[in-house]
Amino acid sequence: MQLFLSLIVLVNANLKDIKSAALTNFVSSAKILGISTSETDDSNFVPVYKSGVYIDVDLSQQKLRFVSDGKVLKSYAISSGAPENPTPTGSFKILNHAVDWVNGSGDHLPYWLGFSGQAKGLVTYGFHEVPYKAGEKDQRDFSQLGKPVSSGCVRLSTEGAKYLYGHSSIGTRVEIHE
């Protein structure tokens, strides 16, 4: 009987280790893909606006939150501007949008939502999926999400960019802060 109980304890301990390892791998994979893994991720978040919809970008956490009536509906890992090309901070509004905008360098910026940086009539900063060159869509590097590496725009996973694009419109408020 003692041997049987020892085996049950051993199997139980191994299952806990396996479960813990699986959860750790899942969370790591989700972070790389820019997917929020826990509803408690935003438990300490204090919304700027208590009513209406807005996009909150926390550059220090490399995190975007889509907020409605003071509640976080979705949150995603982002890649904001690198130190030499910082993402602007402040209050903005969505100014334009395009399903697949191509910039002057030939980069495809899927699910573009422009919010700032008027230059020669163009909006130069926006939210979009990780960019790619024509013919290289399958070579995008989503592992950079969570790191400030962009040219100033806010990059998102495919899921995040699609959600934001589908739930935002011209005039949607944007708050970007450290």
Q: Which amino acid is at 111?
A: Y
Q: Which amino acid is at 5?
A: L
In this predicted model, what pLDDT tens digit does every residue of 95-116 receive, in sequence order? Answer: 999 999 999 899 999 999 999 8
For a pLDDT cut of 90, what percent of the chain falls above it?
67
Predicted pLDDT at 121: 63
* Residue 78 CA: distances (Å) to CA of 3, 14, 121, 129, 166: 52, 36, 26, 10, 17
In this predicted model, what pLDDT tens digit does every residue of 107-163 receive, in sequence order? Answer: 999 999 999 876 666 678 999 999 999 989 989 999 999 999 999 999 999 999 999
Rg over alpha carbons for the chain, rounded to the nearest Å, is 20
pTM listed for this prediction: 0.77
Bridge-partner residues for 119, per DSSP?
A: 122
Predicted pLDDT at 116: 86
Question: Check: CATH 2.40.440.10 for 39-177?
Answer: yes
- The whole-chain average pLDDT of the chain stands at 83
- Delimit the domains of the chain by residue range: 1-33, 39-177
